[in-house]
Structure 1
Amino acid sequence: MKLTARVGGRSAALLLAATAALTSVSAGLAPAAQAATTTPVCDPTCLLDYRTGAHTDYDRVVLDFSGPVPPLNTIVQNGPDSSPLTYPASGNEVHITGSSYMSVTIPGVSIVDTKGAGTYVSPTLDNAVGLPSVKGCAFMGNFENEITFGLALGTFSSVKISTLTSPSRVVIDVYH
């Protein structure tokens, strides 16, 4: 876009006003954008978020962390005798429905930073996602400095779990 200003004319005044308005708007947004990307200080690592997505051959669940991910424990219950997931602290049933279930427990992870502020922003209740192989997700708790995350699964052939860095995350691929 080409802008032409006449010296001393109305076009120059409009251009200056528009430039001033854009400068004040962008200046006002910069601190908020920087604040939104600040990683909390956690000792050792905090869970930040999770997200899901469907791909051609698999469904993906990604857990985001503030720092290095400790080794994790995974339990997959498959078949008609699979019992629903339960919350570790209370023993109450997790209300996500599937034909099989998977829980991922990661010790040494918290959901609060060193100042006591919460770091986990995703749903804390049961969440139906309705993907082809992943039917539901649930953050099941942070108990004695370990987190547990549960998945309700539909029909699937295999599960691949990867731990990645930059940024730190656990990727769970559930193949159709």
Structure 2
Amino acid sequence: MFLPPKRSLAALAVPLVSLTAALAVPLVSLTAAPAAATPVPSNAAVHAAPRVATLVDVRASHQPGLDRVVFEFRGPLPPRRDAGYVSRLIADGSGHTVPVAGDAILGLRFGGATGHDDHGRPTYGPARETLALPGVIQVVNAGDFEAELTFGIGLSRKAPYRVYTLTHPSRVVVDIKTPYRTVPVRTYFLDSRAYAAGRRPYTAAVSRPVTPPSTARGALQRLFAGPTQAEYAKGLRFVASGATGVRSVVVRDGVAHVRLTGSLGSGGSAFTVADEITPTLKRLPGIRWVKIYDAHGRTERPKGRSDSVPESLEP
């Protein structure tokens, strides 16, 4: 089954947030051992290397009842395909944690595959893309090392999935069920073109699907994932101001209390992450004021019904 027009991955301008736990679990193998290499004539000293699958596109779309992510390859299918939920995405080679937005991460590993050409240039586009789908929030590459590709799919929640292959062209398809209701929320990003021209408002709103009843948390999760590729092309940016994520969101008596992680700082700018969080949350029912706290729980006006930011976010 073919999908709507292809979409390529796009890099984000700022760090994104990983909202998962701290330990990794192994992936589950979906295939048998790789096929043996075809030998060259008997007078040769060595056997020819097996043909490597080359990734040429990654795209995603929503279908009835599921989100679908497709990895398309030039040449054969990857002979080894592993998939499974992981608590964090690990970069091949370095072993560092790769940030992925979402409450769950579906890890994928393709053995006998590459995502670059002989000159080291990517063959499928940038390594990260944010998506405005019910389940899939991000698709992130975590490695292209020694004929092995690693990806993480950041999801709004853990859900059943199915992995299968198609040919002509070679594709690995991941269907992730979305058996839950979503509601649209407005998420506000910096409009870099308006800001550069000094033209207010400096923010632009985009729509994101979130699952109730945790709409405030879901809205901020989508905010920290950043703009989609199309939104980025229009000049939208996520200004993090040193924030790496959201530790908690508590709504009480019309006040949303938001505690951030990371080392917050305005850098002398009049526009900070607070200018994105505040309008995003005030669009939700029952929220009239927003108090933002740093990682140490500090804000300028912790009491009363009023907006507040930590001192570190002041210009």
Report the TM-score, using the length of structure 1 for normalisation. 0.66
Point out which structure has higher relative CO (alpha carbons under 8 A, 6+ apart). 1
- Work out whether residues 156 and 175 of structure 1, in 8 Å CA contact, stay in contact via their aligned partners in 2: no
Secondary structure, counterpart of 1:72 in structure 2: strand
> What is the Cα deviation at residue 156 of structure 1?
4.7
- Work out whether residues 103 and 158 of structure 2, in 8 Å CA contact, stay in contact via their aligned partners in 1: no
Query: Aligned partners of 2:122 and 2:66: how far apart in 1?
Result: 28
* Structure 1 segments unaligned to the other structure (5+ residues): 1-41, 78-82
Aligned to 2:123: 120
Aligned to 1:67: 75
- Work out whether residues 85 and 94 of structure 1, in 8 Å CA contact, stay in contact via their aligned partners in 2: yes
Aligned to 1:58: 66
Q: How does 1:6-155 map to 2 (within 5 A)?
A: 43-69=51-77, 70-77=79-86, 83-113=87-117, 115-116=118-119, 118=121, 120-124=123-127, 126-155=128-157
- Work out whether residues 52 and 147 of structure 2, in 8 Å CA contact, stay in contact via their aligned partners in 1: no
Q: How many corresponding residue pairs?
A: 128
Query: Aligned partners of 1:94 and 1:128: how far apart in 2?
Result: 15
- The root-mean-square deviation of aligned C-alpha atoms, in Å, is 1.9
- Work out whether residues 136 and 155 of structure 2, in 8 Å CA contact, stay in contact via their aligned partners in 1: yes
- Work out whether residues 96 and 127 of structure 1, in 8 Å CA contact, stay in contact via their aligned partners in 2: no
Query: Aligned partners of 1:88 and 1:119: how far apart in 2?
Result: 16
Report % sequence identity: 31
Secondary structure, counterpart of 2:146 in structure 1: coil
- Work out whether residues 164 and 174 of structure 2, in 8 Å CA contact, stay in contact via their aligned partners in 1: yes
- Work out whether residues 47 and 111 of structure 1, in 8 Å CA contact, stay in contact via their aligned partners in 2: yes
> What is the Cα deviation at residue 44 of structure 1?
2.1
Question: Which of these two proteins has the greater Rg computed from alpha carbons?
Answer: 1
Give the structure with the higher percent helix: 1
* Structure 2 segments unaligned to the other structure (5+ residues): 1-49, 179-315
Q: What letter is aligned with 1:61?
A: V
> What is the Cα deviation at residue 46 of structure 1?
0.7
User: Moved runs in structure 1, 4+ residues, more than 6 A?
Assistant: none
